[in-house]
Amino acid sequence: MKNKSVLALGLVLTMSVSMVGCGSSKKTETEKVNVEVQTPGSGEVTLDTDYIGSVSPEQQIYVVPLVSGTVTQVNYAVGDMVKEGDVLFKIDDEAAQLQMDNAKATYSQAQAGVNVATGGSRHLQNYQTEQGIDTLEDNLDKVRDGIKDMESQISELGDKETQLSQAVTGAKANADAKNQALAQEQVKLDNLKAELEKLQNPGNDESGNPISPDATAISAKQAEIQTQETVVANAKLELTQAQGALSEAQSGLSQVQSGKSQLESALESTKSQKETLKDNLKTTEKTYEITKNEVYPQTDATYSAQLAQANVGLESARYQLDMYTVKAPISGQIESISVEKDSMASAGSPAYVISNKDSMTVTFNVAEKAKNELQVGDAIEVERNGETFAGTITEVGTMAGPQTRLFQVKASVIGSGDKLPSGVSVKVHATTQREESSLVIPYDAIYFSAGSAYVYCVEDGKLVKTPITVGLMNDNEAVVADGLNGESQVVTTWSSKLRDGAEVVVKTEAEDAE
């Protein structure tokens, strides 16, 4: 009796276990996995590499005196800011000042000789001018008539110049208005594109899962962009037309001004010719008498040469004197000073070092593969003490270092101030790989097994484990070279229940919001 009771209890337990097991199996078979999906997008995937760079001023000058002597004045200290042309220090110039005084005296003596030699000659030329007027009155009348004609033409061109100046002013105002209108429409277009980018990349929800873009909003925004692009194109056309009208008006004004200038020049020349004729008529006989005597021309040439020689001596003395006042060749900050008041300054020895820190150069070394990807004009980021600074590559070396086998790259960082002192080391972020593709998926959607990559796709309500060939990857995105197409429904959420053939329920944006 006891054995039967035990057997009956065993059967009951067995049936209970069997019923529980069957019930559990049925639930597993019917349970579906909730997933989110995303179709591959298009775009560029980049990969950044970090380097260690060194900072130096883009412009650094060693100030070297050209003469030796005792320093009599030092105006600045290390760390001071100077402007181009500021006097840095002075050297005792007593000897140079004596040479300057002597050169001035020599020049004054030569000038006096010229005045004595040429005074009588100038008086004689004036006399000749007064005697020549009466002999060529007919020619003078013709010249006067020509002057009147040219003055009349100049007056007419002046009226045209006034009209065209007003036309140029109006055309310029119109062009400026069109340019401002274009700028405003371009800002609207840029704002629409920025809004489209936010719609296309809405980011992640509170759980860190990517938020699916709103296709309807994206389509609407793209339509707005297309309409705005048409508006911008029309604004550019109107600006081009306005600029063409301005150019045409300016060209017409330039032609009129040129013609007027030529007539004015001809008028002045004619007036000068009239005066010359007067001079010739008055001085014919006296000029002949003077020209047959070469004494005066020879005397003028002699004194002119002496005066020129004295002027060379004066300029040389002035140049020598200027050497004793040393000025800043550039604007910037004084890095070091090696002269002191009452000490000796040596010609050829650096006295000051001045750096222009408005723009700093960051130098770093890269391997050949990275060098081939970097180009002048590429943007980089420089990081120091938790702050980042934007920079632009200005030079990519073409020869590797003999020991490091690395290529030197230089970048310019503007406006960093004292936050990037000369000589410090910084971290440089540079984009060294790029790949453009029409199939780009989130990196988190990719799984790896035995070195091979795969994703889960949704097909006919079931998961399909899909092998893929991956191109360039970064922390956020990856290029898919093979295995997917533009309509593939790639699962972007992780679950421990993901397996090939499992039935799924695709979550909607409304469900994600709930």
CATH number of the domain at 362, please.
2.40.30.170
DSSP H helices in 292-380: 295-322, 368-373
Per the domain annotation, does 65 fall within a domain? Answer: no
Q: What is the pTM of this model?
A: 0.42
166 and 240 in a single domain? The answer is yes
3-state class (DSSP) for residue 492: coil
Q: pLDDT digits over 292-345, tens only?
A: 666 667 777 787 888 899 899 989 989 998 989 999 888 888 888 999 998 998
Same domain, 393 and 487: no
Residue 7 forms part of a structural domain: no
Residue 471 CB partners (closer than 8 Å, separation 6+): 45, 435, 437, 478, 479, 480, 481
- Quick check: is 69 in a domain? no
191 and 283, same domain (yes or no)? yes
CATH code of the domain in which 196 resides: 1.10.287
55, 89, 54: which is closest to 355 by C-alpha? 55
Q: What is the pLDDT of residues 209-258, one digit of tens each?
A: 888 888 898 898 889 899 989 999 998 998 899 889 888 888 888 888 88
pLDDT at 126: 52
Residue 345 belongs to some domain of the structure: no
How many CB atoms sit inside 10 A of residue 316's CB?
13
pLDDT-derived band at 36, boundaries 50, 70, 90: very high
How confident is the model over 41-49, as a mean pLDDT?
A: 87
Residue 388 lies in a domain: yes
**At 411, which helix (H) or strand (E)?**
strand 407-414
Looking up tokens 């029409």 gives 438
Looking at the structure, do residues 235 and 280 belong to the same domain, yes or no? yes
Q: 467 and 409 in one domain? A: no
Choosing from 435, 470, 495, the residue where a domain stops is 435
Same domain, yes or no, for 395 and 507? no
What was the pLDDT predicted at 119? 64
Q: Is the pLDDT of residue 471 over 60?
A: yes
Does any domain span residue 50? no
Q: Are residues 270 and 370 in the same domain?
A: no
24: left (phi over 0), alpha (psi -120 to 50) or beta: alpha
Residues for the chain: how many in total? 514
Closest by CA to 466, choosing from 41, 40, 32, 29, is: 40
Is there a single domain that holds both residue 266 and residue 181? yes
Q: pLDDT confidence of 133, banded at 50, 70, 90?
A: low
Phi (first) and psi of residue 30, to 5 degrees:
-95, -15
Vertex 487, ends 485 and 493: CA angle to 5°?
95
Residue 214 lies in a domain: yes
Q: Are residues 297 and 237 in the same domain?
A: no
Phi and psi angles of residue 378, each rounded to the nearest 5 degrees, phi first: -65, 145
- Domain extent at residue 168: 133-290
CATH code at position 473: 2.40.420.20
Number of domains in the chain: 4
Check whether residue 149 and residue 277 sit in a common domain: yes
220: helix, strand or coil: helix
Residue 64 counted as domain residue: no
pLDDT of residue 58: 76
Query: Which of 435, 454, 483 is the endpoint of a domain?
Result: 435
Which residue among 290, 306, 338 closes a domain? Answer: 290
DSSP state of 135: G
**CB atoms near residue 245 (< 10 Å):** 17
- Are 143 and 125 members of one domain? no
- Shared domain check, 241 and 165: yes
Segment (H or E) for 228: helix 215-291
Residue type for position 42? S
Q: Measure the CA–CA gap between 76 and 57, rounded to whole angstroms.
A: 20
